[in-house]
């Protein structure tokens, strides 16, 4: 399954409503590419091929230039330890792959995306005016954007953190990419994408912006980011993008067949639950709230078809194991889910 940062409802709106014919065509081409599976690899095969490595955890990065073609990976332009290329996109992604690797290693003792030293591969300059970035099951891929609505996908660190976390979920047993389990899949990527950025900046929960994709919009676009974990539904309101449709609670859950049952829309509900828990606990969010979410994801017991209620119950149980059933952390997790309308049995 190809997991992309820009949801189809955003690209749909551009393709149908933008006054600029070139941008409508760019959005439509992106949608066609995103619906294809030819570049994807089977997750089961990748999981089966993962073997533990020996020695210290060290990043193994390789950056390719796709040369504005849709064939992957493209020409190798930088390998681990090599000097900067002078290509901003390639060098940004080399750095961001390293930051994400360091985050998982330092915060949770994880050796790369698969936990077994998986090399990190990325391709930049993918296709022509491609308005997205994605994890294809084996590597990261970045377009350059259309330069009128989207100007960068390599700049925001949380985009790379988000997409690589799809790999963490994949190698941790996966979550079905449909309905509530699919929304949890997207939410977990937003959670850890934001935590990668907070870790890199040394921010506490109250200092973080809790935005996903801040900085990718061109000047003149009425929006601050693709999503807001703190206030779902408020990230953008623009004639060419539409209005951010994310709900902040179960009372506004969106029933739709589009985007695998609204995986990018309804992820706003568990996103807000995590923000509320992290804000209530305080401090560096990756240390306690993030630990609870990480252990729930990687503990080996999360069903592939988990719904919000199942995940909420498991995070509450994990908080109890880690920090005490009557601890402030457990109370914060339970209250967060209750606030967004997900009851814990």
Decide: 110 and 168 in contact? Cβ < 8 Å.
yes
The rounded distance, in Å, linking the Cα atoms of 80 and 90 is 12
Active-site residue identified among 18, 64, 163, 186? 163
Residue ranges making up the domain that contains 259: 179-339
Q: pTM of the full predicted structure? A: 0.94
Active-site residue identified among 162, 264, 284, 317? 264
What are the pLDDT tens digits along the chain (345 aa)?
678 999 999 999 999 989 889 999 999 999 999 887 433 433 333 333 344 445 678 999 999 999 999 999 999 999 999 999 999 999 999 999 999 999 999 999 999 999 999 999 999 999 999 999 999 999 999 999 999 999 999 999 999 999 999 999 999 999 999 999 999 999 999 999 999 999 999 999 999 999 999 999 999 999 999 999 999 999 999 998 999 999 999 999 999 999 999 999 999 999 999 999 999 999 999 999 999 999 999 999 999 999 999 999 999 999 999 999 999 999 999 999 999 999 997
Cβ-proximal residues to 21 (8 Å cutoff; 6+ apart), any chain: none
Decide: 142 and 210 in contact? Cβ < 8 Å.
no
Active site residue 264: yes
Residues 301, 195 share a domain: yes
Domain membership of residue 332 (yes or no) is yes
Residues 120, 239 share a domain: no
Q: Please state whether 132 falls in left (phi above 0), alpha (psi between -120 and 50) or beta.
A: beta
Residues 226, 167 share a domain: no
DSSP code string of 286-330: TTTHHHHHHHHHHSS---TT--HHHHHHHHHHHHHHHH-TTSHHH
Residues 164, 193 share a domain: no
Q: Which of 139, 171, 203 is the last residue of a domain?
A: 171
Active site residue 51: no
Domain membership of residue 345 (yes or no) is no
Cβ-proximal residues to 122 (8 Å cutoff; 6+ apart), any chain: 61, 62, 63, 64, 93, 94, 97, 139, 140, 141, 142
Taking the alpha carbons at both ends of the chain, their separation in whole angstroms is 32
Domain membership of residue 344 (yes or no) is no
Residues 294, 254 share a domain: yes
Count CB neighbours of 329 within 10 A. 21
Residues 121, 8 share a domain: yes
């Amino acid at each position: 399954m190809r997991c992309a940062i820009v949801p189809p409802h955003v690209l749909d709106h551009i393709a149908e409503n933008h006054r600029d014919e070139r941008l409508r065509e760019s959005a439509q081409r992106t949608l066609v590419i995103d619906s294809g599976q030819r570049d994807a690899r089977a997750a089961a095969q990748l999981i089966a091929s993962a073997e533990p490595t020996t020695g210290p955890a060290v990043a193994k990065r390789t950056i390719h230039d796709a040369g504005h073609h849709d064939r992957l990976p493209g020409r190798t332009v930088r390998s681990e330890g090599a000097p900067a290329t002078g290509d901003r996109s390639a060098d940004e992604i080399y750095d961001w792959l390293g930051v994400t690797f360091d985050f998982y290693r330092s915060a949770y003792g994880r050796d790369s995306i698969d936990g077994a030293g998986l090399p990190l591969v990325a391709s930049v300059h993918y296709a022509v005016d491609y308005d997205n970035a994605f994890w294809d099951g084996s590597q990261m891929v970045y377009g350059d954007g259309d330069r009128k609505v989207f100007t960068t996908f390599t700049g925001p660190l949380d985009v790379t953190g988000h997409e690589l976390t799809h790999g963490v979920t994949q190698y941790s047993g996966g979550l079905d990419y449909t309905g509530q389990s699919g929304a949890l899949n997207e939410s977990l990527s937003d959670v850890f994408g934001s935590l990668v950025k907070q870790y890199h900046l040394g921010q506490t929960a109250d200092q973080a912006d809790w935005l996903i994709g801040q900085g990718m919009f061109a000047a003149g676009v009425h929006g601050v980011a693709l999503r807001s974990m703190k206030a779902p539904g408020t990230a953008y309101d623009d004639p060419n993008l539409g209005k951010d449709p994310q709900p902040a609670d179960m009372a506004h859950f969106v029933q739709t067949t589009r985007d695998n049952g609204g995986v990018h829309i309804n992820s706003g509900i568990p996103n807000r639950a995590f923000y509320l828990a992290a804000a209530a606990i305080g401090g560096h969010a990756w240390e306690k709230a993030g630990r609870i979410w990480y252990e729930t994801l990687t503990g080996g017991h999360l069903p592939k078809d988990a719904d919000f209620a199942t995940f909420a119950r498991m995070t509450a149980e994990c908080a109890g194991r880690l920090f005490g059933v009557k601890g402030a952390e457990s109370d914060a997790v339970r209250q967060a889910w209750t606030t967004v309308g997900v009851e814990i049995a």
